[in-house]
Structure formats: structure tokens, C-alpha cells
Amino acid sequence: MQSTSTIVYFKQGLGNLILLTPTLQALAQMDESKKIDICLSSEWNDYRRNAFDEYISGMPFVQNIVNFPVQQFTKKYTVWFYTAHSEHSDALDVFRSHDTINLSIPDWKMSMSHEAVWYFEHVLAMGYDKSMPDMYIPVKQTENIHVLPDNKLKIGLCNGTFCNMMKGAKQWPYFKELAEALKNYYECNIITIGTGDELQEVKADFNFVDKLRFLDSANIINQLDLFIVNDTANMHVGDALHVNMIAIFGGSFLSKNAPLSSTTCVVRKNLDCQPCQSTESFKNCEKNTCLTSLTIGDVFSVCERKLNWIIKNEKY
């Protein structure tokens, strides 16, 4: 196999990586080998790293995962790609020292570009002349795949966040009551997905919280008739798979994070204090009115419109 000449440095969240995949595919198309290498920090050892390795290994346009600094660079790359969105580290300094392309892409906070578009503008500046590829999630049959029954509507719930500091600005507090309302009004199965205690009070027909690997969760999401989710990595999974989805937003930037697929409806309060991302309030707000004042009725009315369309136009 022809060796790659492009290496990409990345250290952010799973959702950020999903949004980077159109750019990764474009970089691979520009490489003679049609593949790239991805560099991750070997010091990154929180629970997301296993999901990253699994996800990247399933990308057909990636040849190797390079760990820095334990695994030093053993070959010469001609393209060293990073974005300013990557967290600072010694690896980022190495990439800067090799970078020969001076890009003048404005920071996304200044341009208010969608994150996927902002990444892609970098390869456009490097000479890429095709349209932006779709976000990539490898959905495939595995030995661990769970096939959901088709006799009822399949409604998925996810209320994720990476760290406790973001819970108030991202997690909607009424998923338990919403699940009860959906069960009362529709013949449906409730499927819960995610990690931790974020949906522990929800009575689910199929509870997959903390039970699946990342790509197995993607397989579950791909089977759903409707996915109700906050601003988290699994929202971007549903977006990449064009699942019928309702995305609940609190303090996050819509301009940066909103789903791109036409199959998604966004629900938010539109308060004067929204969005507060990139401010101290995003982590320290004590009221979180943007989410606590978003009622079950607000979300259920959107669910009702979505589900009635699904029942009318699909197999239920």
C-alpha cells in the first residue's frame, strides 16, 4: 500500500471529530494514497479514547493512528494538518513547526461558521475544489448488534455531556416525564442511549446506557424512527445518519453546533442570554433557565408533529 503523506492532529471531543470527517475525507482525496494518518496524544486516557480508536479504525480513508509522543513520527509527511480548534499540546507545536501552509481562516468565534464548514474552509484554502463530503459514521453489522423490533415506533432518548461542568448548559431535565407522555400517547418502544446517570430515572423498554461501544450505539441510532437528544456527540451521529431527530439546545451555539440534516428539528427557548457558550456562564450558570423553562409541552408538541408525519408516511 502506498504510504500516506498527510497527517492530521486532533484532540477534541467525539462530536468535534464527527464534524471533522468531511475535511478528513477531502484531505484523503488530495493525498496520492487516498488515505491519511491521524495523530492523537498518547497521554489522552479518559473513557473517550477507546471510542476514538474504534471510530477512526472504521474510517476507510484513514491508514494509521499515530500516538504522540510515545510513537514518534517514523516517516516524512508533506502535509501536517491541524486546526486552531485543537487543544494545545507538544504535538500541536510539532505540527506548527512543520506546517508550510499559511492559512488565514478566521476563528469560528469571529466568523460564526458551523464547525464542519469551518474545518472544511481550511482544505478549500489548500486548493480542494470539490463539494464538501458528508459526515462519516461507519454503520455495519457486528456480532454485538442489537436489532430493534419493528412492531412499534422506536423512539430514542439521549441526554449526554462529557463533563459535569457542562451539565446545566446542555442537559434537559425532563426526559423522564417526556418518556411517560410518549408512552401514554403512542404505541412505542423507548430506547435509552448514552453513558452515566443522565437517564437513570427514565423507564425504558430497551436501556443501552453504558452497555454499548460507540459504533454499536450508532447502529442503534440508525434504527430509530425518532431520536430526541441534546447537544452531544450522539446528536452528531444522528445528524450524520440523517435520522429523524429533535435536538434540544440550551447554552450552545446553534451557528457552530446545530445539526445540518433536514430531518432534524431544533428546540430551544430563544432567551436573551442564549447562547452563552465560550463564556463563564456556560459552566457556572446556576439557573440554567434556557433548559429548565423549556417545558415538556414545548418538546412534546414538536415530537407530535414529527411522529404524526412518520406514522403517515412510513410503515406505522
pLDDT band with cut points at 50, 70 and 90 for residue 253: confident
Q: Residue 57: which pLDDT band, with cuts at 50, 70 and 90? A: very high
Task: List, in order, residues 6 or more apart from 212 with CB less than 8 Å away.
Answer: 144, 146, 193, 220
Q: Is the pLDDT of residue 314 over 80?
A: no
48, 145, 295, 309 from 216: Cα distances, Å? 15, 6, 31, 28
User: Average pLDDT in the 109-138 region?
Assistant: 89
User: If you average pLDDT over each of 29-38, 158-167, 281-290, which comes out highest?
Assistant: 29-38
CA angle at 151 for the pair 149 and 153, rounded to the nearest 5°: 90
Largest Cα separation within the chain, whole Å, is 61
Q: What are 152's three cell numbers? A: 412499534
Mean pLDDT score, 154-163: 85
Give yes or no for residue 203 having a pLDDT over 90. Answer: yes
Average per-residue pLDDT in the chain? 86
**Nearest alpha-carbon partner for 79 in 6, 4, 2, 3:** 6
* pLDDT > 60? residue 104: no
pTM over 0.85, yes/no: yes
Query: What integer pLDDT is reported at residue 217 of this predicted model?
Result: 93
**CATH number at 153-313:** 3.40.50.2000
Q: Residue 151 to residues 11, 178, 308, 312, 315: CA-CA distances in angstroms?
A: 42, 21, 16, 16, 10
Q: How confident is the model at residue 162 (pLDDT cuts 50, 70, 90)?
A: low
Q: Is the pLDDT of residue 207 over 80?
A: yes
How far apart, in whole angstroms, are the C-alpha atoms of residue 21 and residue 114? 14
Angle between helices 175-185 and 296-313 (to 10 degrees): 40
Tell whether the model's pLDDT for residue 307 goes beyond 80.
yes
Summarised one tens digit per residue, pLDDT across range 68-81 is: 876 667 678 999 99
Confidence of residue 290 (pLDDT cuts 50, 70, 90): confident
The mean pLDDT of 8-18, rounded to a whole number, is 88
Q: pLDDT-based confidence at 251, cuts 50/70/90?
A: confident
What pLDDT sits at residue 67?
A: 87
Checking DSSP bridges between strand 79-81 and strand 62-68, what pairing results, if any?
unpaired
Grid cell locating 16: 468535534
- Tell me what pLDDT residue 218 has: 95
